[in-house]
């Protein structure tokens, strides 16, 4: 399979403090990869580097063989869409206006949206089950509803790679499942490459094809959930005793926290 993203020796520091330390890995086109690791491991920083929102101090990110640093932001945005952890919208925008913003990389500076842009935006809203909100102010929605609209905006970009930072951390179990089922469907049916930071290791284990485990700005391990989610790895990275069991039907590993005083 073709490598869509190739990350080599990436370093990034905030005011001299290293957040990413010689990160290297490849992502194949069509993969569904989860990035896991403790708070402060560098997951969000890595995703921002992949989206080109942050420029690495050292190292390169190649998108289809071309360094991101040599590409125009419009060309990057027609290939990579980013769903941040939290999106703050300061003005009154309807959800349809927000989703249409996803078409920006395709619209000429001096022209307006075309019928095709409206159709693609509508399709993205149908996929994310947000069409009923189209005339509502985005700030009037619940955080879960808002997140689905932001995902619709990313899909309207018609990307090849979708980057998501803990996309379901504010959602209930039903909406978590809905979002990940949708991502899995897009991954399978449209060969959309998914790179998502995951907070919940069990969800990561269920949905991701492969995982990248970060610790202190470094890649601790990469592999399939079945290889990587072990009692030893969780203890070593998170410092927590857990029990791993395997689903009787799928063999997917799941973790159970062991309380101190029970």
Closest residue to Mg ion, Cβ-based? 44
CA distances in angstroms from 98 to 156, 168, 182, listed in the order given: 10, 19, 20
- Report, in Å, the least distance between residue 84 CB and ligand ADP: 11
* Residue 67 interacting partner from Mg ion, ligand ADP, none (CB closer than 5 to 8 Å by kind): none
- Report, in Å, the least distance between residue 166 CB and Mg ion: 6
253 makes contact with ligand ADP (CB under 6 A): no
Taking the C-alpha atoms of residue 9 and residue 210, their distance in angstroms, rounded to an integer, is 20
Binding mask 154-193 for Mg ion (x = CB under 5 A): ----------------------------------------
Q: Are 146 and 174 in contact (CB under 8 A)?
A: no
Strand partners, 34: 196, 211
- Report, in Å, the least distance between residue 197 CB and Mg ion: 6
Q: Which of residues 6-35 bind ligand ADP (CB under 6 A)?
A: 14, 19
* Residue 39 interacting partner from ligand ADP, Mg ion, none (CB closer than 5 to 8 Å by kind): ligand ADP
Q: Which of residues 9-48 bind Mg ion (CB under 5 A)?
A: 43-44
Q: Which of residues 30-89 bind ligand ADP (CB under 6 A)?
A: 37, 39-45
With contacts defined by CB under 6 A, how many residues of the chain interact with ligand ADP? 10
Sheet architecture: strand order including 161-165? 80-83, 161-165, 193-197, 32-36, 210-215, 218-223
- Report, in Å, the least distance between residue 136 CB and ligand ADP: 31
User: Quick count: other Cβ atoms within 10 Å of Cβ 139?
Assistant: 12
Q: Name the residue nearer to ligand ADP (CB basis): 145 or 165.
A: 165
Q: How many Å is the Cα radius of gyration of the chain?
A: 19
Exposed e or buried b for every residue in 156-183, given b needs 16+ CB within 10 A?
A: bbbbbbbbbbbbbeebeeebbebbbebb
Assign 259 to helix, strand or coil.
coil
Exposed e or buried b for every residue in 57-66, given b needs 16+ CB within 10 A?
A: eebebbbeee
Taking the C-alpha atoms of residue 255 and residue 245, their distance in angstroms, rounded to an integer, is 6
Instruction: Extract the tokens encoding 15.
Output: 């005011």
Q: Name the residue nearer to Mg ion (CB basis): 85 or 123.
A: 85
Binding mask 43-82 for Mg ion (x = CB under 5 A): xx--------------------------------------
* Residue 40 interacting partner from Mg ion, ligand ADP, none (CB closer than 5 to 8 Å by kind): ligand ADP
Q: Name the residue nearer to Mg ion (CB basis): 43 or 148.
A: 43
What is the contact surface with Mg ion in residues (CB under 5 A)?
43-44
What is the contact surface with ligand ADP in residues (CB under 6 A)?
14, 19, 37, 39-45
């Amino acid at each position: 399979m073709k490598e869509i993203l190739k990350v080599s020796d990436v370093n990034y520091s905030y005011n001299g403090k290293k957040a990413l330390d010689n990160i290297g890995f490849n992502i194949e086109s069509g993969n569904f990869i989860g990035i896991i690791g403790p708070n402060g491991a560098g997951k969000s920083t890595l995703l921002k580097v992949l989206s080109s929102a942050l420029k690495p101090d050292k190292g390169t990110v190649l998108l289809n063989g071309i360094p991101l640093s040599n590409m125009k932001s419009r060309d990057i945005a027609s290939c990579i869409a980013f769903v941040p952890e939290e999106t703050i919208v300061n003005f009154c925008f309807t959800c349809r206006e927000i989703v249409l913003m996803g078409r920006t990389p395709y619209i000429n500076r001096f022209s307006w949206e075309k019928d095709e842009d409206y159709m693609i935006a509508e399709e993205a809203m149908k996929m994310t089950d947000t069409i009923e909100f189209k005339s509502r102010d985005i700030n009037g929605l619940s955080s879960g509803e808002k997140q689905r609209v932001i995902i619709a905006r990313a899909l309207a970009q018609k990307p090849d790679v979708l980057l998501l930072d803990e996309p379901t951390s504010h959602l209930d179990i039903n909406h978590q499942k809905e979002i990940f089922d949708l991502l899995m469907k897009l991954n399978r049916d449209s060969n959309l490459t998914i790179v998502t930071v995951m907070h919940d290791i069990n969800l990561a284990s269920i949905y991701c094809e492969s995982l990248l485990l970060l610790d202190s700005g470094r890649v601790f391990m990469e592999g399939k959930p079945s290889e990587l989610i072990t009692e030893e790895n969780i203890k070593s990275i998170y410092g927590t005793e857990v029990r791993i069991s395997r689903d009787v039907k799928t063999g997917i590993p799941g973790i159970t926290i062991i309380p101190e005083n029970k």
